[in-house]
Structures are given as structure tokens and as C-alpha cells.
Structure 1
């Protein structure tokens, strides 16, 4: 039987939430559960109502994306976790192709490439992520910048039980901190060279609105992890 995959969709006042949910439900891979974590939204909640019989809907007080992800992961019953932002969407074969890749490579964590789109679903930048040739290149790139879009990742749930959950202190860079934490703890993050996610760029996104806060967080994270990662890279 195919392993179960839990797709976690953190949601906070996002007008694109219905597109995200529909893309999760449209997966060709059938052994999934879709968990929408409402992080204290005050608008656009009506867009979830048509899907309530097909998803698991969890509501909590507002605490940020990391807390919403952690809430969903703890509630998840799948062996694997996929994260989908409420303003992005998956292509239909996303889960099927990535799980097949992970099983064939005995991978506990993986990521893919992605397209950038605008607020009208128009393509802005195809293949926006770096394309990797091997796992060593992933390590080397993380000495320079965050090479992974979080919504392209699938990861075994058991890993969170071993290394911990997303750090809510890093409100806008919790994903970067997590990937570095995995790498320095010996978890390889494998790259599948396919575009399986559409990443939306728009004025209301956290990436657009909180650049100063993100840059401050990034400096803190890199100061802590890069010396450790550099020693690992030297021994690869």
C-alpha cells in the first residue's frame, strides 16, 4: 500500500486558500489527508467552507506560520509531511512523483524545483530554483543561501520527532533554520529535478512585507549553523 502523506496548509487571511486546497485534493496520489490550519483568520474563511467534508480543518489562535505548521504536523496521521502555503499550489502529480522518487532513493527528505507566478496565475519565472546535480552541491549551496522553497519539501514525520519542530522564534525564516538543522544533524535532503509547485509572488506575501525582519533572522541563523555546516562540507 502507498504510504500516507499529510498535506499541511497553514492559513491566515489569504484570498488564495481555495486554490491551494483544490490543488491538494486534485493530487493523482490518493493516500493523502489535507489539513488546513487556520491561524486565527478574520477574513476569507468562507472560502474553506465548500471543502470541509474533504479536509481536516483545525483552528487556533494566531501565532505565525511555524506554529500553524507544528499544529498540523502533530495532528497528522501520515508517514510523510508536505507543506503547502495558502497562496501557492501543487501540480497534480506533485505527491505521486516525489514519493516515488523518495522511495527509490531511500530518502527521508526531498525538495523540487518550482515556478514563480503572479497574483493572476501568470508565469513570471520558470524553474526559479537552483538545479542540483548531487547532494554535495546542496550542502555547498547552503553555505551561501537558503536553496529550498519550503512548499517543495516532503519529509518523513518521524524526523520532526527526532530533531524538533519548526522554531516559532524565527517567524519568517523558520524554514531556513529547519533545513540547516536537518543538514547539520546528518539528514540528507535530496533534490528531484522537476517543477511540481507554483510559488506565488504578490504584495501581501510575508516575503514581500517583512524583508527587514527576515534579514535580521537570517543573520542569526547563519551565524549559528554555518560554522557547523562548513566542517561537515570539508569532510564530504
Structure 2
């Protein structure tokens, strides 16, 4: 029987002392093995590094603060797994997340990436933001043709949960490339658009496999800066689509 392929879990973190231990506990509670866990400390000035070092089996990489995209790219560069997963330091994996998503990819060799359903955890006193809950139900998204333009257009509705939903094949990631450090807030959305455009195939699993934590710190970034980056991202995509038509 062929051994199970190695899965690399990349955790980018900046000043994540409040939640990092719980995130790492959830990774080590996975029913899938073998895994490697890579924490990329993006210039934290709290106890993030100390917490990461307290976990046996964590590979800690420390860099100057360069942003989440650069931290993810550093983790990708160091990862050895055939499958790459991501977990933001304030999110949690359910125990069967990796096994369910990797099994789905192994059963569908033409599929390059898997997205999983999420459950939202609100910290006490945090009101649901206006942008939450506007995504396309995963059951509907699962029926979309990821290679079609209409499917690509709907990607922004499929997920509002970020990279913690993702498991991707290494060869797909190498073909598409990493994250654009020009984006501080929407690098994940830009990357997912590129996955969709590549025709790699995206498997959307309807079951809840991870928990997303909404708290005061991560809500502050969902305002003007994010809106501006969204506009910049959409403009880039529109210009890219117009370019072939203009040259023909």
C-alpha cells in the first residue's frame, strides 16, 4: 500500500499570541498523517515565537515584517509536502479537515485545489460585519464549472473565509505561483482568482471542516484599505481580460 503523501501546513502569523496555541493544537489533532507544520513569524513583537517553539514538531521561520503574502511565500518555499494547506493563526481546523480534502484531491486527479466549508466563531461583544454571509452557499458552488468564465466570476462569492479553507497540490501551486506581496489584504483573493483562471479545477466540499474566528483585531482591516485593494484587484483583472481583445 502506497504511503500517504506528506501534507505541509503553513501558518503565517504576526503578533498572534492570543490564538496561535489553539491553532497549532488543532493542526496536531488532525487524523491525517504525515504532516509538517511551518510557522512563519512575520516580525512579531509579542510571545508568538515563544509559543511556536513550545510545540514539538513545529518548524519556526522568523522574518522581518513584510506582510501576510510574503510570510505565506516563505512557508511555501520551505515546504516539502505534496499537498500544501494554510491556516491563519486565529483560525482552527476540525480534526478531519486534511484527511477529507486530501482524499477528495486523490480521488480527483484532475483537480488542483480544494476549498472547505467554515463555521464562524464570534468573540464576545463582536457584531457580525456587514460583508459576512454574502457568499454563495457551498452546495451551489460545488456545482460550478471552475474552468468557465462564469465560474471564475463567482469565485468571490464562494468564499469569504480566506486561505484557511484551502488545500492545494504542490504542482498546481508551482504552476500558478505564490502570493502577490503588493496586496496587504486581498492577496488570498488574488491567488484564488488565479487558481480559477488557470483551469486547475477546484473541489468545493460542502461540509464544515474549519472554524473562522471573528474578533476585534481582524475586523479593523475590513474597511477603506480593503475596499481600495478590491478595486485595484478588479481593475487589474478587467484590464487583463481586455488586453487579448485589443490585440486581436
TM range, smaller chain? 0.7 to 0.9
1:29 lines up with 2:38 in the alignment: no
Choose the corresponding residue for 1:101, options 100, 104, 111. 104
Choose the corresponding residue for 1:174, options 172, 175, 187. 187
Q: How many residues align?
A: 226
- Residue 47 of structure 1 and its aligned partner are, at CA, apart by 2.3
Choose the corresponding residue for 1:12, options 4, 11, 14. 14
Structure number with greater Rg is 2
Structure 1: tracts of 5 or more residues without a match: 231-236
Q: Is the 8 A contact 2:144 2:151 kept in 1?
A: no
Match of 1:233 in 2: none
- Residue 197 of structure 1 and its aligned partner are, at CA, apart by 0.7
Structure 2: tracts of 5 or more residues without a match: 243-248
1:112 lines up with 2:121 in the alignment: no
CA RMSD in angstroms comes to 2.5
1:183 lines up with 2:196 in the alignment: yes
Give per-residue Cα distances to partners, 1:178-230, cap 9 Å, x unaligned.
1111222222211111100100101101x533421111111121222257679
Choose the corresponding residue for 1:68, options 66, 71, 74. 71
Change (3 A) 1:141 1:163: closer
Residue pairs, 1:185-224, within 5 angstroms = 185-205=198-218, 207-224=219-236
Q: Is the 8 A contact 2:6 2:34 kept in 1?
A: yes
1:147 lines up with 2:149 in the alignment: no
Change (3 A) 1:71 1:193: same
Change (3 A) 1:5 1:226: farther
Q: Is the 8 A contact 1:113 1:129 kept in 2?
A: no
- Residue 61 of structure 1 and its aligned partner are, at CA, apart by 0.7
- Residue 81 of structure 1 and its aligned partner are, at CA, apart by 0.6
Q: Structure 1: which 4+ aligned runs deviate by more than 4 Å?
A: 226-230
Distance 1:98 1:142 in 2: 21
Q: Is the 8 A contact 2:52 2:58 kept in 1?
A: no
Distance 1:12 1:218 in 2: 22
Change (3 A) 1:129 1:69: farther
Give per-residue Cα distances to partners, 1:115-148, cap 9 Å, x unaligned.
110236x9x899x762224132796365253523
